[in-house]
Structure 1
């Protein structure tokens, strides 16, 4: 069994590779700390959508729909305005079709490799970004903080540990999601028809023409109820949908079952993620994005109780952390 962690390249980009038993993973520190690949090399499974060599320039221009991009703050903010503690921050309007700011600042910038290594029980890498007054992000989000990600491979799959510490003198917003791009199917020889997805969703938020929440809920369709229960095709309709998260059996998770191989990919995210975004690229097939999200889209501009919409801050010196895991379960 091969256990190792090493620096190398991925499609010409600087990368840290992790190997543990049948598993392999790749992190791209210079492109947003994105975990771009998670594979089972013995079975030929590729769990995450990876860019082909010919797609690397396109990926670098828009690194939001491959691997596990970090969205901070995530999703859309009306007119790029972000009210916080009596001030209003102005983010760039980078989605012209809606006039909104989309997806924050951390998924496109370089991160630093803090350490990587391998032990008898895991292979791991830690990457981080430190924002202070000298960092370009500070101009838009004027807070001093450290954001650290630790990924580890073990016999239990891939674990992710998120750590955010406010190192400034004022409360800072802590709004986060991961635009996780999951292959469906992930196994060679399987088809989209073999795949069913289940998610711990609750209510569906109504979104207006600018893809911003109205504050109201919409009734779930029959297929969305299957999404909560026995599972449904990830491509049953075009989805760019926002839901509350309601844990089942004490866990908040996505389960993608492949009936052809009798296995389920489980994406178990922490209960701090109070919302799910589900995007499936117009039901085009091949991949979809079950996105665990702390906060409601456009939360600082929504007049609903902060706890209900996941709007919270970190006081000076405070730390927020959470863990998630991707692993495979045998069925039957």
Structure 2
């Protein structure tokens, strides 16, 4: 276990026979696999013995991680979740993505989560703080360019300190045309996150406002409903996240947590009086909560800039969150994950 006063460090390591970057600061440890989406595949608070994110346990699971990175760590979705029939229109331009969810005839989860990224910066800022920068440059050489003909640069900056992990995401449109963007994370949290705790010790609190109704293809309809009495518990005492299926899509709004405004989600261990806090920047206006049938000891909390299938929903962009990025413009937002005690 790390000592609280141990100096920050950055190491290049082999993890499951893949090159990785391991970094630590302020009682936290994290590990990135650049060749699989620059995913933070391990994240721990070593002082409180909390294993925050779901990681592959063995070589077999690592193979699944390479093909399905959306169920491990902190994978980026671009665009988030599903596009109906893989098709949408922006102005006069029609985009046709490949169908990779044949059962529902959708395009799902984007492509940069599986792709190779470059680590462009590794810096120990101080004794208690480190910063890692990862970049994905997309151009005409990429096989997906025929579906999304815009050059762009995606950048992830991970800052680690005693305040936890701050992740700053940016995308710059390097093309000469308006570019559709939608960004999300399929963040997979361990439940339980402490080895001495049990499933029933856990609750999720989430700053949700309303629920998007979804059809049999898991696509939102244009109906947005008030929360049910059970769903209202997300914003109060919280809901047990395991033991039954959860797959719901919500709008985000600020709620009051311990006297302060909060935007995001919290996983609490009531036996240890510990919580993992997922604080989301205001650009994340929608969220999916999904637990993979509720029997696999993890839950995905998925902040999104836009609703699933946003460009195909016949509602105002202010409601769906769909946006385009002008040539040479940059979009940027941050999120934080950290561990704290609570009463």
TM range (shorter): over 0.9
Q: Which runs of structure 2 are paired with 1:95-106 in the superposition (5 Å)?
A: 95-106=101-112
1:98-152 Cα deviation digits (max 9, x unpaired) = 0100011110110011011212241121101011112223121111111000112
Task: Tell me which of 261, 267, 273 is aligned to 1:262.
Answer: 273
What's the counterpart of residue 64 of structure 1?
70
What's the counterpart of residue 123 of structure 2?
117
1:68-99 Cα deviation digits (max 9, x unpaired) = 00100111111110212211111110011101
What's the counterpart of residue 294 of structure 1?
305
Q: Which runs of structure 2 are paired with 1:29-44 in the superposition (5 Å)?
A: 29-44=34-49
What's the counterpart of residue 167 of structure 1?
174
The alpha-carbon deviation at position 11 of structure 1 amounts to 1.5
Q: CA RMSD in A?
A: 1.3
What's the counterpart of residue 137 of structure 1?
144
Q: Which runs of structure 2 are paired with 1:137-156 in the superposition (5 Å)?
A: 137-156=144-163
1:255-309 Cα deviation digits (max 9, x unpaired) = 1111111111110011111100111111114110010001111111110001110
The alpha-carbon deviation at position 2 of structure 1 amounts to 2.9
Which TM-score applies when normalising by structure 2?
0.94
Q: Which runs of structure 2 are paired with 1:236-315 in the superposition (5 Å)?
A: 237-249=244-256, 250-315=261-326
CA distance in 1, matches of 2:246, 2:292: 7
What's the counterpart of residue 182 of structure 1?
189
Unaligned residue ranges in structure 1 (runs of 5+): none
Unaligned residue ranges in structure 2 (runs of 5+): 1-5
Task: Work out the number of aligned pairs and report it.
Answer: 332
CA distance in 2, matches of 1:251, 1:271: 10
Does the 8 Å CA contact 1:223/1:236 hold for their aligned counterparts? no
CA distance in 1, matches of 2:164, 2:270: 20
Does the 8 Å CA contact 1:48/1:67 hold for their aligned counterparts? yes
Does the 8 Å CA contact 2:203/2:239 hold for their aligned counterparts? yes
Shift in alpha-carbon separation, 1:209–1:177, aligned structure 2, 3 A: same
